[in-house]
Structure 1
């Protein structure tokens, strides 16, 4: 029976692994090679030396996340967040370990969901997350199947909810062997970060100091900012305000490109009612010029707001690791709720408005807002083609693309008091971008391009074991660039998700990109915000004849183009068969890889009338956005303005929410609001 080791160290090898490997060697059918996933340099040396002495062979298990799929062709990473984590959560809730610490008081606010999402949070590239743990088990199952074996032993770090992992592994032919009590904080840095997050004021201050050191070099931001950390904007707390947690897109021009203020530009709301964090002197000056209320990134509270806290359970020896996890989450909930309640009180914030719903922290913020008489609102930034545990949301108000999006949210176990159907939020942008798109197209046409493709990518990380990696992104560029270089009448436009690191991540393909750019028929949008590229995907789509998204499992940028009736294709290389997008026609919208998609594109371009229905989303578009009238941002901004107006009139939050919903229903239809 083959042995697999999650994390190999010299001590673990000598105390646990060597004995089992030697016994296996003496069996009637010994295996030649055993595998480890992670190992220290010292461990590799110890294994190499002792392996030769005892005739044992240990190798690093080689795998790439993009190749780990189930029998239905679904990428295991996607399935874990779509299905497996929900199953794990159900078993966790039914376990004695959880029931021992569970408290009925948790159900009176968001703390129950805060704890659950806190336990389930984390992507596969995060050590010690449940999704990472499940993925490792799946990788081992994939490998034994690949080698024609039926079972194996996996030496796995003993972690909370151990019995659930044992049952899951057994179904896959894997016997789990605990190595040691899990080192829940694998590095001093991650340990300190998790501990500091329990003290939000201090953590916020430290983040500011880190950013300040960088920005001082970059922006010469050295004008006594330290003296204002705990003072700035407090004197302006009498104005009712919406605190905006943005994406770092500080674009203050209504030009159709990414901006944290797109809903402000397109509605009657006043900038003085918007509170925004700046990260540099340049940002501060811009915001002040346009009349925004501002605050720096490290604003802290000088006092602690008295809140209704959740009682921290007594940790029982029998379930110590589980109890520790739950206790840490409750401490985090109490601390964050207190911090944000004081923040709202000091800064005169009545509404917290965000796009970020992907971790549990937003639930503590929502409870803080409610406790001080405020409202927590979230807007849908990305299209979710299937349920995922990551998108589970607790909010008082949510702006959604459509009723279909609301249903997906419910399946993801979201709880929203007022679900508002407002349409795709960036649908106002097309008229503002058409002149820029025409100019870009003319530029490519002047160099010989008669047909143009817009290629859409995603971001990537270095370690391809825990992320789909750079190779998948390189494919988004390589195939179309080759086609452009061999076809003198073909052009291409790229709007990278993250332009800052693009050429590094492309590796050798970057040379091909430079070569294509020299033809004058290839253009790459470069300007970036704090994190991502500023350009709207729509400006690239409007300049092209066909749009191609290389990642069906994502697809928001593709949806934006399809809503403008631009021919738009989706390539599913990862494997997301459960996506809503699979209701679109294969061979006309859905393709399995870049070569297949480009063959169809070339046939479409070279046919006299093109391929009928090519890139056409008509069959599902009504379900994805029932409006498509360019007024989604107006609806959002106007709704938020109604909330602020209510607060300025002195109404309580309950009346404000009811009145705003009633006004919206009268204007846009009662079917456009779903009240819990």
Structure 2
């Protein structure tokens, strides 16, 4: 991109205009993270100037996070600034607009998608992705990097947009925001919502500073040294990227914490293999995380089935035998794609961001290419689509003649920036899910509709569910309520914390202690940390368990091993505690159990609201509980309570328990073609044709990345579009 010869219409914010806007009667100031430097250099001088010149009257100064020295300094200088500095009292994730609609719901679906679209249209972004050296899925990788779904990162785009919306919910507001790439777009978004953004220097990040300053080759060498040091302490052979000697092409499957190789009724990352004719010798299971590493027991089970294993993290294994399977990425045969010349690009935050993200993409693509070559991998399968890694993986496989595939794990009922996908193949639940992927901007040549990929577990769980139910009934339970939560995070202003979850559990557990006829079956998402997160409510849980009328599914390391259907099938009614993640509720309804959804956060944009408020959707526990009591006291129950009716067709057009079998068979077809030496294009086309002949052309969709959303999309229009997708899917299923 040539140097600018004239003023850029999308240039930096006009600080004089911002000061003028502030003079019109600003009443509240916000800062995301208060530091000593920001207070002394950027904030306090401006507050003092406003006070002395009477340009603005600041009633309050709220912060989301603050260092202790900064807070002490700000409060000590209140006599000079004339402003009281206090923490923001509300919960950001609970904030709603004037109509009671969750701001987080609007940001995660509509707003982040619209802002992402604006950034992609920015001259700097367009010029970079138009360079001849930018190829493959790098533009998609960069687009994904704009909206990372890192729940622990308060600097993520959606967190910034949420903060702006919360600021806008007052009268007039000024937001002191860390300077970041694409600040012009964020500022325009803030102005549209009546918020003035004043940039302040970002907090110093030593790791990020080193990452920017060190040459890429030096960073990669340091990475190799770090890997060697961490593994040498545990006597790991320096195998590097050596070939494992396997001649046959294989499918590499990313391990996500669900092993359960011989328990098909539980979650397993190899669920499709359990339901297919694929041989264990066709599979290589990749351990990429230290949270649930490869140990001797897992390795023994894999060896028994002929399944290979590879460790892709220095802490991803615990025994010498498992550690011997480590694959260490190296710089061997590293080929760099030339990036746009620094002389043609001014050193702006956007240019630095684009260059660093492009380098990361090339490093990741090289690492995966090296791994796939060493292990004769022709296909890669994962469920994780929420960052850009799958883009680099797909390009690595493409240059080796292989195929990259993803499978849907969770229901997403609204388009979102962080769910966009760019891969060869995706196994999805329904045509409605495909429509939502299209609106998210996904580019998927082969979207294969399989039905819900966990429905094979339903009949396998019935026996155990009946045993759980009988045990509760023996202790006096005449009515049984199931409950599934969505986890909680430690001390986060951005997402539901432990306090919200404690209220849910406290309500149910107190009912168990008050009502001797009530039993509950609890299905926590992360049972391993539940009692710690419950705090004092854990005592209530222990008392409820002592009655014999409270059962909890506790198996699982990183997440629960049992699916929500296990609790639902043991219950008369099932309750899912949130609408922002609806998979547990939908699965319970697909299992044939009357299911209620609790929405205390105001996610009324969800198309699930079409199921009926007071019938399936409830906004508080008391109303839900009273509906349950009425249902249980009426001779024929409360008509329509928990009944999802024909809407289930939109979530699974098959509902025959064979979704995993369809996926496994499709993968088998692909692998057969690759083993025969056919080109990847021929293999994918042949498998698609066979699938269409067997299951119908309506179950194979092509997504070209042409999303139909725009930056001015309104909330009501989004809800109507989601409702239309449900109706289309339901109507199509009915016509078949």
TM-score (norm 1): 0.91
Distance in structure 2 (CA, Å) of the matches to 1:672 and 1:581: 23
Number of residues of Structure 1 aligned to a counterpart in Structure 2 = 656
Q: Could you say what secondary structure the match of 2:61 adopts?
A: strand
Q: 2:224, 2:329 within 8 Å by CA — same for their partners in 1?
A: no
Distance in structure 2 (CA, Å) of the matches to 1:301 and 1:107: 24
Distance in structure 1 (CA, Å) of the matches to 2:46 and 2:620: 44
Q: 1:254, 1:265 within 8 Å by CA — same for their partners in 2?
A: no
Q: 1:548, 1:571 within 8 Å by CA — same for their partners in 2?
A: yes
Q: Could you say what secondary structure the match of 1:377 adopts?
A: strand
Selected match of 1:631 from 647, 658, 679:
658
Distance in structure 1 (CA, Å) of the matches to 2:213 and 2:162: 23
- Report the alpha carbon displacement of residue 290 of structure 1 after superposing the two structures with TM: 1.9
Distance in structure 2 (CA, Å) of the matches to 1:57 and 1:325: 36
Q: Could you say what secondary structure the match of 1:554 adopts?
A: coil
Selected match of 2:249 from 228, 236, 240:
240
Q: 1:315, 1:323 within 8 Å by CA — same for their partners in 2?
A: no
Q: Could you say what secondary structure the match of 2:502 adopts?
A: helix
Q: 1:251, 1:259 within 8 Å by CA — same for their partners in 2?
A: yes
Selected match of 1:251 from 249, 260, 266:
260
Partner residue of 2:312?
Answer: 297
Q: 1:97, 1:161 within 8 Å by CA — same for their partners in 2?
A: no
Alpha-carbon RMSD across the aligned residues, in angstroms, is 2.7
Q: How has the CA–CA distance of structure 1 residues 85 and 506 changed in structure 2, closer, same or farther, with 3 Å as cutoff?
A: same
Q: Could you say what secondary structure the match of 1:359 adopts?
A: coil
Q: How has the CA–CA distance of structure 1 residues 614 and 205 changed in structure 2, closer, same or farther, with 3 Å as cutoff?
A: farther
Asked if residue 528 in structure 1 is aligned to residue 553 in structure 2, the reply is: no
Asked if residue 436 in structure 1 is aligned to residue 451 in structure 2, the reply is: no
- Report the alpha carbon displacement of residue 123 of structure 1 after superposing the two structures with TM: 4.2
Q: How has the CA–CA distance of structure 1 residues 190 and 672 changed in structure 2, closer, same or farther, with 3 Å as cutoff?
A: farther
Q: 1:117, 1:359 within 8 Å by CA — same for their partners in 2?
A: yes
Partner residue of 1:490?
Answer: 518
Q: How has the CA–CA distance of structure 1 residues 497 and 270 changed in structure 2, closer, same or farther, with 3 Å as cutoff?
A: same
- Report the alpha carbon displacement of residue 130 of structure 1 after superposing the two structures with TM: 1.7
Asked if residue 269 in structure 1 is aligned to residue 290 in structure 2, the reply is: no
Selected match of 1:227 from 228, 237, 241:
237
Q: 2:212, 2:356 within 8 Å by CA — same for their partners in 1?
A: no
Q: How has the CA–CA distance of structure 1 residues 193 and 585 changed in structure 2, closer, same or farther, with 3 Å as cutoff?
A: farther
Moved more, 190-199 or 258-267: 190-199
Q: Could you say what secondary structure the match of 2:597 adopts?
A: strand
Specify every segment of 5 or more residues in structure 2 that has no aligned partner in the other structure, as ranges. 1-25, 288-292, 314-326, 704-736
Partner residue of 1:585?
Answer: 612
Q: 1:97, 1:319 within 8 Å by CA — same for their partners in 2?
A: no
Selected match of 2:424 from 361, 378, 396:
396
- Report the alpha carbon displacement of residue 125 of structure 1 after superposing the two structures with TM: 4.2
- Report the alpha carbon displacement of residue 618 of structure 1 after superposing the two structures with TM: 1.4
Partner residue of 1:38?
Answer: 65
Asked if residue 286 in structure 1 is aligned to residue 305 in structure 2, the reply is: no
Q: Deviations over 1:195-242 (max 9, x none)?
A: 9999789769958987x79xx9xxxxx6x4x1165378x324312110
Distance in structure 2 (CA, Å) of the matches to 1:547 and 1:229: 51
TM-score (norm 2): 0.84
Q: How does 1:464-475 map to 2 (within 5 A)?
A: 464-475=492-503
Selected match of 2:534 from 503, 506, 525:
506
Q: 1:125, 1:132 within 8 Å by CA — same for their partners in 2?
A: no
Q: How has the CA–CA distance of structure 1 residues 478 and 542 changed in structure 2, closer, same or farther, with 3 Å as cutoff?
A: same
Q: Deviations over 1:429-465 (max 9, x none)?
A: 1221111111111111110011111101011112241
Q: 2:241, 2:371 within 8 Å by CA — same for their partners in 1?
A: no
Asked if residue 118 in structure 1 is aligned to residue 145 in structure 2, the reply is: yes
Q: Could you say what secondary structure the match of 1:235 adopts?
A: coil
Specify every segment of 5 or more residues in structure 1 that has no aligned partner in the other structure, as ranges. 217-221
Selected match of 2:679 from 648, 652, 675:
652
Partner residue of 1:166?
Answer: 187
- Report the alpha carbon displacement of residue 45 of structure 1 after superposing the two structures with TM: 2.3
Selected match of 1:5 from 17, 21, 31:
31
Distance in structure 1 (CA, Å) of the matches to 2:300 and 2:237: 17
Q: 1:538, 1:561 within 8 Å by CA — same for their partners in 2?
A: yes
Partner residue of 1:219?
Answer: none
Moved more, 533-542 or 518-527: 533-542
Partner residue of 1:103?
Answer: 130
Distance in structure 1 (CA, Å) of the matches to 2:56 and 2:675: 79
